[in-house]
Chains A and B, each alone.
Chain A
Amino acid sequence: EMQLVESGGGLVQPGRSLSLSCVASGFTFDDYAMHWVRQVPGKGLEWVTSISWNGEKKDYAGSVEGRFSISRDNGKNTLYLQVTSLRVEDSALFYCWAICVSTTCAGEIWGQGTLVSVSS
């Protein structure tokens, strides 16, 4: 079964940092570009950042540029998101999202999400 499992969320004070992880299983990790998407419960989806299959290209939403950093370790089938200088408005459920970019796969995969709460 193709699966993504996020972890690392929690309650943190404004201005602090957090490290999120997303472990992939059941598929060839480096066939996929990886994204982080967040969602305030009850609200819409917001694209946050993405990384190419080999980690060479990274893109960020303007709202997180300079504060969030995406990375991946294909040997460990793991995606990371380092979040710094957290703000109350960063509170959300963070999902990892895999998009096939190879001819040997198809489709997209979503994780279950990890909740980040920023509060004093």
Chain B
Amino acid sequence: QTLVTQEPSLSVSPGGTVSLTCGLTSGSVSISDLPGWIQQTPGQPPRTLIYSTSSRSSGVPDRFSGSIRGNKAVLTITGAQADDESVYFCVLSTGRGTWVFGGGTRLTVL
């Protein structure tokens, strides 16, 4: 069974840039997997930041961007702010009608 991989935790300085990655234990992530990035802060429901690789949801600041780099999907935060401290989940479509989430990356801004 192929699993979705994410860094368990990352940290970034305020104003800095950080890249979160989303890979597969077997194979490469591509645009056909429709990678998405979901942000969740404690006690709140999930919120989609990026869908279909690089489309930004309405109201999401442009410091968040999505791409494919090599064999992974990447979420880049440019100019990180304190309220970006959250857990970020990657989600992929398997192409067989099912979807799978990564385990999440806990981002600390310090």
Contacts and interface: CB of A to CB of B under 8 A. Distances in A.
Q: Do A and B come from one complex?
A: yes
B107 to A, nearest CB: 15
Interface residues of B, number: 22
Given A95-B45, A110-B46, 20 more contacts: A44-B89, A44-B102, A44-B104, A45-B38, A45-B40, A45-B91, A45-B101, A46-B101, A47-B98, A50-B97, A50-B99, A60-B98, A97-B46, A106-B55, A106-B58, A107-B48, A107-B51, A107-B55, A108-B36, A113-B45
Contacts of B99: 35, 47, 50
A47 B101 contact: yes
Interface in B75-110: 89, 91, 96-104
B51 A57 contact: no
Q: Is the interface of A mostly helix, strand, loop or mixed?
A: strand
B47 interface: yes
Interface residues of A, number: 21
Nearest to A61: B98
B57 interface: yes
A44 B46 CA distance: 11
A78 interface: no
Contacts of A108: 36, 48, 51, 57
A83 B72 CA distance: 35
A99 interface: yes
Contacts of B58: 106-107
A59 B51 contact: no
Contacts of A46: 101
Nearest to B40: A45
Nearest to B92: A47
A59 B103 CA distance: 21
A107 B57 contact: yes
Nearest to A4: B45
B104 A47 contact: no
B48 to A, nearest CB: 4
16 contacts: A37-B46, A37-B101, A45-B46, A47-B99, A47-B100, A47-B101, A50-B98, A59-B97, A60-B98, A95-B45, A106-B58, A107-B51, A108-B36, A108-B48, A111-B45, A113-B45
